Amino acid sequence: MHHLILQPPRAALRFTFTLLLLAGAVPCALSQTQAGNGTEGSFRHYLSVVEQNNLDLQQQRETVVSAQAGVSIAGVRPDPQFTAGIDSKELYGPNKPNAGTTTIAGLAFTIETAGKRDARIRAAESNVRLADATADAFRRQLLADSATAFIEACRSSAALQRHETSLGAMRDIVRANEIRFKAGDIGKLELVQSKVEADRFGTDVVSARADASAAQTALSVFLGQPYQQILGSSPDCQFQQNRPDTQEQTAAGLDGMVQKALENREDVLLAKSGIANAGDNISLARANRSVDPVINVGIKNTPRIYPAFDAAGNPSNTPAEHSNSLGLTVTIPIPLSRLQSGELVQAQSALTQAQLQMRSVRLKAEAEVRSTYVQYQAATQNLYSYQQHVLADAESMLAGVRLSYRKGSASLLDLLNAQRTADDVYLAYLQALSNWANASVKLQQSTGKQPEI
């Protein structure tokens, strides 16, 4: 990979000295010089801070923690049940004189069958992978949205600087016209018109300043805190892009990008995790249809029954010695509820949905890579056109008309038309640069790469 570093047009640089004399340097907040990859306020640094501080992403990551805890829960075996109490107690004494109270104590164990525990663990583990893939997919969209916000903040900041520069140039014209009016070179009408036009440029600055402020405020939404509080400085809008190799620009190279996307994209990996999780849930549903027997082990304690004698000295009851007896029973549920198979149908339906989702995601991923690549090529070509001649020609024309106006060979209307044309061209150039940056980010993300510009 080699770097595509956007440089200011050479033709525009030839007019720098003239522009400095007439209206100050042309701003370029969206600088195209070598950018520090991890410098304070840079694009990469901003995305890194977003990933660390975004509240919604932290919430998504908590679902992974919860899913990991679910693996431990899935491995828990059924608790044994302890039973203790009275087995029999005579409530009517004369019926059985001197009868003892029989007590019992026992344990019941549920025996899981059909590998339920293993099926639960497998389903829980695949749920962890699904939660992790969901968090990655959310992160991908978050970085895409925050990248767009960063690029827009840079564009609006550069547009504000352009409007401020144009306003300064018009105020210089007004001051020059005041001197020319006093000297009798121009009439009062031309002086008033220049002041009105300067005020109109001032309204553009007010609107541009509001747009720039709103765009920078939008950066704070992704950070969870005010931008200045975390990063301090304003965004560092120096962009650099790894341009695809010439080999990658061929149809075969594009097919390779599509293949990488189908292997590495977060939404594709999420769909794969969904299929695996649905399959494990089917296995769990089948295992859960198996009945679990319960083994009961108990001890029965019968106390000694002492003899009771009547008036004639004869025993009036049945004496018995103390005894302990062991009991063992097995309880097997009768699976009448298994006559219906609703849970299996639901699990199979979830798998079918996951498989259809996978097909849809793969088709969308391929289409996105191909369309994004075309958009990236178009954006690069448009940006190159602005850099090579359009932007420089507009600034050259503006510098010439300004000089002609100061010499009296051009009218104020000619100057205003030239200024507005140059401003429109420069703002269109900023939009082209913004489109290129967004297309670059989208192209990288469409193939599963970390966005860098």
Query: How many of the other CB atoms lie within 10 Å of CB of 127?
Result: 23
> Are 12 and 158 part of one and the same domain?
yes
Does the pTM of the predicted model rise above 0.85?
Answer: no
pLDDT at 95: 64
Any domain includes 451: no
Give a yes or no: residue 452 inside a domain: no
Same domain? For 181 and 256 the reply is yes
Compute CA distances 215 → 116, 155, 235, whole Å. 54, 9, 11
Instruction: Indicate if 91 and 205 belong to the same structural domain.
Output: no
Q: Is residue 142 part of a domain?
A: yes
Q: Is residue 453 part of a domain?
A: no
Do 102 and 226 sit in the same domain of this protein? no
Are 254 and 105 contained in the same domain? Answer: no
If 0-12 CB within 10 Å is exposed, 13-18 middle and 19+ buried, where does residue 295 land? middle
Considering the domain boundaries, does residue 372 fall inside one?
yes
Q: Please indicate, yes or no, whether residues 303 and 371 belong to a single structural domain of this protein.
A: no
> Coil, strand, or helix at residue 423?
helix
Q: Based on the fold, state whether residues 266 and 196 are members of the same structural domain.
A: yes
The domain spanning residue 150 has which CATH number? Answer: 1.20.1600.10
For residue 175, what are its two tokens? Answer: 């001051």
Rounded Cα gap, residues 145 and 150, in angstroms: 9
Mean pLDDT value across residues 253-268? 89
pLDDT, average across residues 241-263: 66
Is the Cβ–Cβ distance between 130 and 273 less than 8 Å? yes
Buried b / exposed e over 318-331, threshold 16 CB at 10 Å, is: eeeeeeeeeeeeee
Residues 409 and 347 in one domain: yes
pLDDT band at 118 (very low <50, low <70, confident <90, very high): very high
Please give the average per-residue pLDDT across 1-10, as a whole number. 35
For residues 247 and 343, membership in a common domain is answered with yes
Residue 35 lies in a domain: yes
Residue 162 has pLDDT above 70, yes or no: yes
CB-side neighbour CA atoms (13 Å) of 413: 1
Last residue of a domain, one of 284, 306, 331: 331
Predicted pLDDT of residue 15: 29
Ranked by mean pLDDT, the top range of 128-132, 177-181, 387-391 is 128-132
Our count of domains for the chain comes to: 2
pLDDT (tens digit, 9 = 90+) per residue, 341-383? 999 999 999 999 999 999 999 999 999 999 999 999 999 999 9
Examine the pLDDT at 141 and tell me if it is beyond 80: yes
CA distance 317 to 49: 88
Does 302 share its domain with 244?
no
The amino acid at residue 428 is: A
Range of the domain at 316: 78-111+294-331
Span 73-105, pLDDT tens digits? 999 999 999 999 998 887 776 666 667 788 999
Q: Is residue 426 part of a domain?
A: yes
Residue 82 and residue 220 in one domain: no
Confidence of residue 245 (pLDDT cuts 50, 70, 90): very low
pLDDT (tens digit, 9 = 90+) per residue, 15-67?
222 222 233 333 344 554 444 455 777 888 899 999 999 999 999 999 999 99
Domain shared by 35 and 83, yes or no: no
